[in-house]
Every structure is written in C-alpha cells, then in structure tokens.
Chain A
Amino acid sequence: MLGSVNHNIAQLSAAALVVATVTLFRIRSGATAASRRWPLHALAIVIVAGAVGAAYHSASDDGLISHYERVRAVRLNALPQERVPRVDLSEVLRSADDRSATFIDARGTLEFDSGRIDSAVNVPPDLMADQIRARLANVPRDRPLIVYCSRESCETADVLASRLARDGFTNVRVFSGGWEIWVAATRPSSDVSK
C-alpha cells in the first residue's frame, strides 16, 4: 500500500514539476510588465516546492509521508478495538495530588515541553513500539496509568492507551478532557523533568 501511495506521489510530483517548468517558460516569453509576472513566479515557486517536498518525503522510509501512513495505519488498527476506560477531572486531580498514578502525555514533544501534568511521561504518537517500551521500562505493569492528549477531540490518547493495554499494562485509563481541561482547572505545570 505504501509503495503504491509513494508511486502516485512521485508521479504527481513529476507532473507538478513539468507544469511549473512550462509555466516559467510561458512567463518568460510573455510581454507583461515585471511586477505582473511576480504572482506567476510565486505560483511556480510554490509548485516546485510542493513537488520537491512530496518527492523528498515519499522517497525515503523516514519521510513524513511514509511515516504518517504508518501512524495512520496504527490508528486505524487501534481505534476499533477495546474502548479504554475513562477517568474524570476529579479523579485526575486526586491521582495527581497523591501520585497514585503515572500520567502519560500523548501529545507531541513541543506541546509537552510547553507544559504538562506534574511528572508526566511524554509518549508522542509517532514513537515506535520498542521506543514506547523503552520509555516506560521502569513503570510496573500493574501501575495505574492515566493517558491524556490535547483535548477531548484528539485521538492520540485513545490510540496510545490501546497500545499500552495490549502491551500488558493492566490498569490503563484515558483522561478524555486532556490538557485543555487540566488548564481550565488551573493546574498547569512548568515542571521541566522529562
């Protein structure tokens, strides 16, 4: 599947480059004033950038397109499976106060660095399975885990919680309101320990 996707992207990139080249030559041969050619030059630059970017990211297994096709496949596989139990704000606050649970932050690294629940462990959605295991190697399998992401509509907490449950963690729950509700409850943290 990835191969066919990348093949199509490579074809589209080649077509875009041809269009951009033709556009540039047509601009060159035109008799319009210099400033009137700028939008067309700008459009050609955007087309070339899109084509080069698509080719660059589809050519390598580490490219964004291949990478996110894998993430999407993981999501599609994970979501229809077991529904992970939910936990509400009051229980989250209690668990944070008495440190009876480990918080897992399923947001991206930049968001995590901007603020997080105290002592939360960051597991971004793009980590591979062995990287997740390494990051949680010191967490006992029966330790209560509370997974959260940015807000209620984000799905990365559900995806990660499903993966953790399948990896043998026996007490995994999702804080569905996530960081947005935590901030609304005025409990942000500037803790910088990762």
Chain B
Amino acid sequence: MRDDQTPIVRSSREPTALRGAELVLRLCVGALLIYSGYEKLRDPVGLVHAIDAYRLFGPTSGLAIAIVLPWLEVISGACLIAHVAAGGAALVAALLGLAFVIAQTTALARGLMIHCGCFGDSAMTVGPVTVARAAGLLAAAVATLVLVARSAPNDASPPAASEARAADGDGLP
C-alpha cells in the first residue's frame, strides 16, 4: 500500500461532506438573515424605536443603523444563498451576530426591559432566550465561514485558482 493512498481517499470524501454541510449552513443562515431583514423593513419606524431603546447610539447614528441594517441582512443573506461573495457575506453575518449578542448582553446587564427588535414587531423582550438566539446566529455564521474556507481550494496554486474563485463566490457579474 502506498503511503500517499490515505490522503487521496480522505481528500475525495471530505470535500463532499464539507460542501454538503456548507450548503445547508449557507441556506439556513441566509434564509434567517433575509427573513430578519424583511421583518425589519416592514416596520422601519418601529426599528428606530427598538434601536433607540438600547441607549447605545445617538439619534443620527440610530437612524443610520435603522436604514442600513435591514438591507445588510437581506443582501448578505441573498449572497449566502446565491453563493456570491459567500465568505464576505458569512463574515458580515458573524459580525452582525456578535453585535446582537453584545447589544443584548449589555442591555440585560443594565437592567433594560426592552423589545429586542430582532424580527421586526414580533420581537421578544430582551432576555436569555434572545441572547442565546443571537449567539446561535453567531455560531452558525462562524461555522459557515470556516466551512467556506475549508471547501474552497487554496488558490495560491495556479490550477486551483479558478475553482477557488467559484467556491468563494467570485463569479460576480
């Protein structure tokens, strides 16, 4: 038996499993982000009040966040599902999850009894459940990021470069 046979067998199975897991995670995180952004877009004024209730931002920055956040969720979710710039979109999702965890944890620590504003008007009051949900988004986004990285061949080697671009969603118009 040749020494290099084992790596060959592993490399033929691992990408399939990795890409399957990556596909599922990308679709789930992408759909969640699009749903969240859509719900926020339905009630923009409510979103401004929800952001204001956290008492982390001034009126102008709160308004800017309310303008950008829903579209950020929708566009990054669409990128994840369409596999266009998926690494960047997963990075955005992870940063959003991290921001939500920090905002809700600090709100809990300050004793604020506020709606989380997570999914528009149907939002729950900030509490351990909403923090756990945001942490779940963060974990799923980080896992997506890792899987996107592992399933993308190293494009430092010339033959794999085009494949790497495709896997990373570089097939941009």
Contacts and interface: CB of A to CB of B under 8 A. Distances in A.
Contacts of A45: 72, 75-76, 79, 85, 88-89, 92
Contact of B115 (A40, A41, A110, A150): A110
Contacts of A110: 46, 49-50, 53, 114-115, 117, 123
Interface string A128-158: 0000000000000000000000100000000
B44 A57 contact: yes
B30 interface: no
Given A39-B91, A44-B85, A114 B114 contact: yes
B50 A41 contact: no
A37 B70 contact: no
Contacts of A54: 67
27 contacts: A24-B85, A34-B167, A34-B170, A35-B149, A35-B152, A37-B88, A38-B91, A41-B85, A41-B169, A42-B95, A44-B85, A45-B72, A45-B75, A45-B79, A45-B85, A45-B89, A46-B68, A50-B67, A50-B68, A50-B71, A53-B72, A64-B44, A108-B52, A110-B49, A110-B114, A114-B114, A126-B45
B122 to A, nearest CB: 12
A20 to B, nearest CB: 10
Q: By DSSP majority rule, is chain B's interface helix, strand, loop, or mixed?
A: helix
Interface residues of B, number: 47
Interface of A is mostly: helix
B172 to A, nearest CB: 6
A41 B87 contact: yes
Contacts of B117: 110
Interface centre among A42, A44, A68, A110, by most chain B C-beta atoms within 10 angstroms, is A110
Interface string B68-101: 1011101110010000010111111001000000
A78 interface: no
B49 A34 contact: no
A49 B156 contact: no
A53 B87 contact: no
A113 B79 contact: no
Contacts of A24: 85, 172
Please give me the 3 A-B residue pairs with the lowest Cβ-Cβ distance, nearest first: A41-B88, A108-B49, A49-B72
Contacts of B66: 64
Given A38-B145, A109-B49, A110-B53, 13 more contacts: A34-B155, A41-B89, A42-B89, A42-B95, A44-B85, A45-B92, A46-B68, A49-B76, A57-B44, A65-B67, A110-B114, A111-B53, A114-B114
A124 interface: yes
A190 to B, nearest CB: 10
A141 B92 CA distance: 52
Interface in B149-163: 149, 152, 154-156
Given A28-B170, A111-B114, A41 B71 contact: no
